[in-house]
Amino acid sequence: MDLSNGSVVTEFILLGFSAPWELQIVFFVTFSLIYGATVLGNILIMVTVACSSSLHSPMYFLLGNLSVLDLCLSTVTTPKMIRDLLAEHKTISIWGCMAQMFFMHFFGGAEMTLLIAMAFDRYVAICKPLHYRTIMSHRVLGGFVVLSWTIGFIHTMSQMVLTVNLPFCGPHIIDNIFCDLPLVIKLACVETYTLELFVIADSGLLSLICFLLLLVSYTVILVTVQQRSSGGLSKALSTLSAHIAVVTLFFGPCIFIYAWPFSSFAGNKILAVFYTVITPLLNPNIYTLRNQKMQKAMRKLVSTC
């Protein structure tokens, strides 16, 4: 059924955070600061990587692309969420909702794939250092980036093509801070059990497989470092533990939301905040801003401006 002709519902109501007005103000200020820091941090990384010749290496090229995806993913949901904190009527048009879901799964799927590529880059750098430049060639790097965006597009299209024409003619309240597939699908006026299973198989398995691959790659890196140098193990463990923490904060909520049975799913806004607001802020800090070479390049860039 075509939405423009057959659907009674033209907009959804986002419940957002149910809290007293004073607490809503606190949320507004907090999330505004977080989003501002996310935008500034990721833009700074992108500009630094692009302008600093010392950072023209595979690792920083991938980090720059990660910043692009983090900025896009955060921008899809956070500005609308911040605005709704002070709005009396928290509504979103049905096509605005569809667009939000499309881009969130597009950038989210691309970021999951790029994180795998970054883990592979670290594996090659640590486990096969003599062949690093040969393996991580410009062609391979370009392939990783194209592959991540392609998988993100296929991931979102495979779900949205089945969702966009669902008829919505009854309940139109979404108990979350943004539109997302599990909650929107439940509002359709038709039986969606098959589609729910497909979303579990698509988003849930993609999140789980990427998360497990990352854990395996980090484990292999730690074992390799331990075998070669006991002194370097503590440093590698310190670095990778921070990476694993960020990866867990990103993939944990995704796995819970999309792999959990739909019948027991309740829109957990805290989990949604973690992977759309907190993680895009943590990524530049954990992966990049703690890097001494990056800090030196940033200081040099600022001093020349």
For residue range 11-27, list pLDDT tens digits in order.
899 888 877 888 889 99
If you search the block for the tokens 């062609």, which residue do you land on? 139
Identify which has the larger pLDDT, 261 or 28. 28
Is there a contact between 182 and 265 (Cβ–Cβ < 8 Å)?
A: yes
Query: 3-state DSSP call for residue 178?
Result: coil
Single-letter amino acid, residue 212: L
| CA neighbor of 301 nearest in space, from 35, 45, 26 | 45
Please state, in angstroms and rounded to a whole number, the distance separating the CA atoms of residues 284 and 301.
Answer: 17
Please state, in angstroms and rounded to a whole number, the distance separating the CA atoms of residues 46 and 197.
Answer: 38
Is there a contact between 67 and 39 (Cβ–Cβ < 8 Å)?
A: no
How is residue 96 written in tokens?
A: 């605005």
pLDDT for 238 equals: 65
Alpha carbon of 122 to those of 198, 225, 236, 239, 240: distances in Å? 33, 12, 11, 11, 10
Please state, in angstroms and rounded to a whole number, the distance separating the CA atoms of residues 6 and 4.
Answer: 6
**Whether this model's pTM surpasses 0.85:** yes
If you search the block for the tokens 């579990």, which residue do you land on? 200
Element (H, E) at 174: strand 173-174
Average pLDDT over residues 272-288: 81
Single-letter amino acid, residue 242: A
Please state, in angstroms and rounded to a whole number, the distance separating the CA atoms of residues 136 and 146.
Answer: 15
Confidence of residue 2 (pLDDT cuts 50, 70, 90): very low
Angle at 236 between CA 64 and CA 50, to 5 degrees: 15
| CA neighbor of 207 nearest in space, from 240, 249, 167 | 249
Q: Average model confidence (pLDDT) for the chain?
A: 84
Share of the chain above pLDDT 70, in %: 90
Share of the chain above pLDDT 90, in %: 32
Confidence of residue 239 (pLDDT cuts 50, 70, 90): low
Confidence of residue 71 (pLDDT cuts 50, 70, 90): very high
pLDDT for 262 equals: 54
For the packed helices 21-51 and 58-85, what is the interaxial angle rounded to 10 degrees?
160
Q: Using the Cα atoms of residue 14, residue 16, residue 20 and residue 25 in order, give the sign of their dihedral.
A: negative
Confidence of residue 206 (pLDDT cuts 50, 70, 90): confident
Is there a contact between 86 and 31 (Cβ–Cβ < 8 Å)?
A: no
Task: Find the DSSP H helices in 86-200.
Answer: 94-127, 132-135, 138-163, 181-185, 193-199
Confidence of residue 299 (pLDDT cuts 50, 70, 90): confident
Alpha carbon of 273 to those of 55, 87, 93, 185, 216: distances in Å? 32, 19, 21, 20, 27
pLDDT for 236 equals: 67
